Amino acid sequence: QTGTVTFTEGDPVAPIDKATITLLDENGQPAESVDAKSPEGKVVGTFTVDKDTSVVTFTPTDKSYSGDVVPVKVQAKDAN
């Protein structure tokens, strides 16, 4: 599954730099990939982000899992 990251733009003088979009791990630290977990905490896949397209991809590792996945957090910097 995939989804495109969108941000609410702030001041047009300081636009968001989409090349800085990154995933955050559960400790709030930047990461190349993040474990995707069920609400109970079981790892059921991974999240990755394509910085060129702003697309976040969920890749399941537990093919038998069916249910919700805790959303991943992303961040980006603005021109300031």
Q: What is this structure's pTM?
A: 0.81
Specify the higher pLDDT residue, 4 or 74: 74
Q: Whole domain around residue 30: which residue ranges?
A: 2-78
pLDDT in tens, 36-70: 999 999 999 999 998 888 889 999 998 899 999 99
| DSSP letters spanning 45-59 | EEEEEETTTTEEEEE
Number of domains in the chain: 1
